Structure 1
Amino acid sequence: MAVVHEPIAYEKIPTRIFADPKEASKSVAKEIADLIRQKQKEGKNCVLGLATGSSPKTVYAELVRMHKEEGLSFKNVISFNLDEYYPMEPDAIQSYWRFMREQLFDHVDIPKENYFIPLGTLPQNAIAEFCNSYEAKIDALGGLDFQLLGIGGNGHIGFNEPGSLANSRTRLMMLDHSTRAAAIGDFGGELIKVPKKAITLGVSKILQAKRVVLLAWGERKAEVIAQAVEGRVTEHLPASYLQQHNNCLFVVDMAAATELKRIKTPWLVEDVVWDTPMIKKAVCSLALELGKPILKLTNKDYNDNGLSELLAGYGQAYDINIEVFNHLQHSITGWPGGKPNADDTNRPERALPEKKRVIIFSPHPDDDIISMGGTFQRLVDQGHDVHVAYQTSGNIAVTDDEALRFIDFVVDYNKHFGINNKEAEEIFENAKLFLKNKKGSEIDSPEVRHVKGIIRRGEAKATCRFVGIPMENVHFLNMPFYETGKVQKSPLGKEDIAIVRGLIESVKPHQIYAAGDLADPHGTHKVCLDAIFEAIGQIKHQNFMKDCWVWLYRGAWAEWEIHEIEMAVPMSPDQVMQKRLGIFKHQSQKDGVVFQGSDAREFWQRAEDRNRATAELYNKLGLAEYQAMEAFVRWKF
């Protein structure tokens, strides 16, 4: 994948953008490996500062691969981790000691005495001395040669939360509420279980590293990356301190770069090719910035806002305005499966065949109704043969309390009616016993995962009945990559792809809807989408695939930009309410959402707010006013 090279304008920290995290991680891993090898040649230790979290996982995976396949040795590496929750047992699932062993240390030849991680089991009165000693060890080795960082949604680096000063030392830190909320999924969905404190390397020690590389993936990091790179240095955004470092690099994927000026408004940074997508992007951006409908934009508006080159190519604002307005208007349709007996020249979907076979792929058992529930209902109501494929069980997103409530119901029901099924009874009793004695360091047992999977499967079926599709059109794929019982999943495998491919070949759809929302916190959507893309790649030459169109929807975390939308399905107030009732079928996901992140809204609220915001954007640009809209982008394979 090609790298977008960094311009100097606007950006106060060198930033390199890659097409995806995998390619970005390979680049960073290579830099680390080259440094390790160079130090080996010089007969010196390589002192690394390492980070935890989702961002560096792919870097560590590539380093492990280089060790196993290319002979990269870590015997001269001495590492210091940034932070650790407090209090925290080292064998707990959420422990960064455990994270580093599982992700890197247990798979390479680094001596055990060569890696250091803050201790989450220290008495509180011993922490200050430990922190001083931690820094002293780094200083005795000549400082950090390389510091790897992630970035929090509030701009923290390490656990240096907003308010941390540039001269802050290694210390015990109170965690910001948003940081704890973002970590809730790692602690069983209960905020009360997330530690309120952490030991973190101070900002001053990070800034003293000879080289600093910060990683960021996904749309959720886009705004904070733009603030850190282009904004002013402030204690309210600790990552902005890195502007003061003379050898720092931000490495981001395209999704995390979307708020940078060179991506969001590239015409202000460099010469651009004025093709249709770029024109739509520029005109929509101009209209929204000025608060004017597209058809009211003037020549002066274009000239005063860096778009004189575009205006010169057309001659008059009126001509540009009409072209973009028509593009947006043609994206709106109440017939997502195509309108029968209608001219489909300017419609997003084909009129024929009138009755289409449709597969809606849903990564989790509720993404279908949350993300495209209105369109789902329209497709069914308009007579299409709609299938839903739930790609994973979603069992880790059920709280222990919800599982116990379900178990109690089943056990009491069986007792009341004298139903004897020893095998089922044993499963439920074992699950209940496990949950009552579950420790923080334990993942759910197979019996518990089975129970939680049943809960989510039942809710998905309830939604499908509500929308009106037959049970034979409901497919539970249970893709193996997901079934680890942990937030961390297995890599996408051949069996996963084969399952998806088999369903597509069986249904032979005219339409496929897939989740293109890659901002979910733990990457399941990305893996599920990759499986679909891989499967389609294997069968795209089959005759039925010539008539298959793929539409990408987004989920509870983000929405397509207005200029990207190729199909917008409007909803009336009654249809919005109907979608809400469909989401309510997922009772285990209400009130206490396991993977809620820092957003306190429930999923139905997020969906309605997002759909309403899309409709408002169309209205602001001068198009018809609707209650809500669901948005789609077509993927052409």
Structure 2
Amino acid sequence: MIQQTQIIREPIAYEKIPTRIFQSASDASKAVAEEIAELIKQRQKEGKNAILGLATGSSPKTVYAELIRMHKEEGLSFKNVISFNLDEYYPMQPDAIQSYWRFMREQLFNHVDIPEGNYHIPDGTVSPQMLAQHCEEYEKMIEDAGGLDFQLLGIGGNGHIGFNEPGSHENSRTRLMMLDHSTRAAAKADFGGELTKVPKKAITMGVSKILSAKRVVLLAWGERKAPKIADAVEGVVSEHNPASYLQQHPNALFVVDEAAASELIRMKSPWQVEDVEWSAQMTKKAVTSLSLTLQKPVLKLTNKDYNDNGLSDLLALHGRAYDINIEVFNQLQHTITGWPGGKPNADDTHRPERALPARKTCLIFSPHPDDDIISMGGTFQRLVDQGHDVHVAYQTSGNIAVADEEAHRFLEFVIDYNEKFGVESEKTLTNYKKAIDYLENKKDSELDSPEVRNVKGLIRRGEAKATCRHVGIPPENVHFLDMPFYETGQVQKKPLGKKDVEIVADLIEGIKPHQIYAAGDLADPHGTHKVCLDAVFAALKKLKPQNFMKDCWVWLYRGAWAEWDIHEIQMAVPMSPDQVLEKRMGIFKHQSQKDGVVFQGTDSREFWQRAEERNSGTAQLYNLLGLAEYEAMEAFVRYYF
């Protein structure tokens, strides 16, 4: 069983599926890998095979990485392992980039000593006439092996397990499944950003076969999974959320990180299920939650409101609602500032930023070439307008987020321009022609060539420069880091490396900023933000002993997918209607990210629409809590290192 040494919350009795919450996906993955390893070793002692059900997707990758480490460093053998994967796209060639055959080889099988005939994955090449027989034979192979000892699962954004989409019956067997639009939209990035290339069908192990496993462990990382996790754990069993069927399993466990657990009652409203320490932050969380739930401004909350909603302990501690209300209202009011770099010649006792130095050096880290303007464009512009020395560091090239057609159009322009004016060298022109030829003959199973990646990177770089011109940043203050971890040409990236951290640390040391802004948006569906943030944190740790770091404050922003919870916000920068439009125009500079975005996910809106809705939503929350009404707000949380 999974050890609990790193678990930050014990299971709550009323939750219908045992759930373990870890501080990070890394800690959680190690714990799950340890359980799998113990099962393998126990079966070895018994002279038996360990029958594993395995999953694909981003969630289990860290589990597989830890199992590989245990094999290489601790001698864990997989010779007695027989595995059965949950699913495979249909149709799908096994050597295609998107194939789960290829995924499993690259993520696990090629790195351990499992015999080649011991792992099984549904065949995406089987003829339609043979599909039903293939599915029956797949289930029979599992039964003949003795049944699944352990089934590893992820969860889709719509609650699917395997490819058992909403509507799947609990008695469903291995079969061909029509994929939900949201599932295909989420997978679009793996298919060059084109929804038409994403298969409409998949072969999937049925819910009944999953539930027949002796042990089931479901993994979930990140805020995007939080609503479905809460519904599966706390809601009713429903075909609308297939993960909820696991409530009926006698030995199921959900293993989640804090972000994926954020919608559980014990995380959202812990005072409803256990005694809490009423710190200022917890008090702010409880009062803002009460205010928004009752739709009453903070200053209008009464003693009865507190008593009727499980907050009598807080009331007993402070004596009366009036005192609590005033304290929380003041906390909220003190987060609002139109001077994100600090207001000169002003009392900064209750301001989120220092008044001095009046002119600060500010460094904005942008994971992709558009996160700066999407996530904090209003604040970005305000810092420049208020006379601060603002630098922007684009951490990655963002090249995989450019559609092939966009690159093709760019290449055609360059070639046509050269033929008319003859400005390019023969070598450069040859590379451009090589790139366009590659695009015209590119197969779905092929990665972009280096020449194509370079062109796509240039497109993103040009758009970032255009945004900086729009805001008023001089060219010498624009830094393109091209961190090596990103440059794989595919969604799957390398682990964060020493060179990545050095690049970030060298820039910070060279600029010596008073303010650093970094992306704390861990809802990014492909993890680039997390790696970029880890690089910033590692660099800060490395540089902390230096004197200039004593004057450096770090602010974290969030992006297009989520916003900080209202009780977490420590600086809120208001925006007028005109400033909202200015930000929109800055986002428009990134034309390759409009009208068919590669990494759009399940949200069909463009990034400027998402950003405006998020910013206006933050302003509305402040207004509902009883504070001034603004058009929009950008929010930040301070990071203490």
Q: 2:341 aligns with which of 337, 341, 351?
A: 337
Deviation at 1:420, TM superposition (A): 4.1
Deviation at 1:244, TM superposition (A): 0.1
Distance in 1 (CA, whole Å) between partners of 2:487 and 2:71 is: 27
Q: Which residue is equivalent to 2:78? A: 74
* Alpha-carbon displacement from aligned partner over 1:196-244 (angstroms, at most 9, x marks no partner): 0000000000000000000000000011100000000001110000000
Answer whether contact 1:360 1:512 (CA < 8 A) is retained. yes
Deviation at 1:313, TM superposition (A): 0.5
Q: What letter matches 2:40 in structure 1?
A: I
Q: Which residue is equivalent to 2:178? A: 174
Q: What letter matches 1:267 in structure 2?
A: W
Distance in 2 (CA, whole Å) between partners of 1:438 and 1:371 is: 34
Q: 2:318 aligns with which of 314, 322, 341?
A: 314
Q: Which residue is equivalent to 1:373? A: 377
Distance in 2 (CA, whole Å) between partners of 1:488 and 1:402 is: 22
Deviation at 1:125, TM superposition (A): 1.4
Q: Which residue is equivalent to 1:361? A: 365
Distance in 1 (CA, whole Å) between partners of 2:537 and 2:51 is: 40
Distance in 1 (CA, whole Å) between partners of 2:10 and 2:92 is: 40
Q: Which residue is equivalent to 2:287? A: 283
- Percent identity (aligned): 77
Deviation at 1:124, TM superposition (A): 1.0
Q: 1:260 aligns with which of 261, 264, 278?
A: 264
SS in 2 for 1:113: helix
* Alpha-carbon displacement from aligned partner over 1:465-522 (angstroms, at most 9, x marks no partner): 0000100000000000000001000010000000000000000000000000011111
Answer whether contact 2:595 2:606 (CA < 8 A) is retained. yes
Q: 1:195 aligns with which of 199, 219, 233?
A: 199
Q: 1:350 aligns with which of 348, 351, 354?
A: 354
Distance in 2 (CA, whole Å) between partners of 1:429 and 1:29 is: 47
Q: Which residue is equivalent to 1:159? A: 163
Q: What letter matches 1:615 in structure 2?
A: A
Distance in 1 (CA, whole Å) between partners of 2:362 and 2:343 is: 15
Deviation at 1:354, TM superposition (A): 0.3
Q: 2:395 aligns with which of 391, 398, 408?
A: 391
Distance in 1 (CA, whole Å) between partners of 2:129 and 2:603 is: 35
1:202-217 counterparts in 2 under 5 A? 202-217=206-221
Q: Which residue is equivalent to 1:62? A: 66
1:432 counterpart = 2:436? yes
1:529 counterpart = 2:533? yes
Q: Which residue is equivalent to 1:441? A: 445
Answer whether contact 2:334 2:352 (CA < 8 A) is retained. yes
Deviation at 1:418, TM superposition (A): 2.4
Q: Which residue is equivalent to 1:12? A: 16
Answer whether contact 1:152 1:179 (CA < 8 A) is retained. yes
Deviates more, 1:430-439 or 1:580-589: 430-439
Distance in 2 (CA, whole Å) between partners of 1:418 and 1:546 is: 53
Answer whether contact 2:188 2:195 (CA < 8 A) is retained. yes
TM-score under structure 2 length normalisation: 0.99
TM-score under structure 1 length normalisation: 1.00
Q: 1:88 aligns with which of 81, 85, 92?
A: 92
**Coordinate RMSD, CA, aligned:** 0.6
Deviation at 1:61, TM superposition (A): 0.2
Q: 1:2 aligns with which of 2, 6, 13?
A: 6
Q: What letter matches 2:638 in structure 1?
A: R
Distance in 1 (CA, whole Å) between partners of 2:598 and 2:532 is: 20
Deviation at 1:6, TM superposition (A): 2.8
Q: What letter matches 1:456 in structure 2?
A: R
1:116 counterpart = 2:120? yes
SS in 2 for 1:4: strand
Q: What letter matches 1:573 in structure 2?
A: P
Q: What letter matches 2:520 in structure 1?
A: G
1:409-428 counterparts in 2 under 5 A? 409-428=413-432
SS in 1 for 2:444: coil
Distance in 2 (CA, whole Å) between partners of 1:427 and 1:578 is: 37
Q: Which residue is equivalent to 1:556? A: 560
SS in 1 for 2:334: helix
Q: 2:407 aligns with which of 384, 395, 403?
A: 403
Q: What letter matches 2:11 in structure 1?
A: P
Answer whether contact 1:6 1:14 (CA < 8 A) is retained. no
Distance in 2 (CA, whole Å) between partners of 1:554 and 1:186 is: 24
Paired residues, number: 637
SS in 2 for 1:256: coil
Answer whether contact 2:11 2:20 (CA < 8 A) is retained. no
Distance in 2 (CA, whole Å) between partners of 1:440 and 1:63 is: 30
Answer whether contact 1:403 1:452 (CA < 8 A) is retained. yes
SS in 2 for 1:255: coil
CA 1:420 to 1:615, structure 2 compared with 1: closer, same or farther past 3 Å?
A: closer
**Runs of 5+ unmatched residues, structure 2:** none
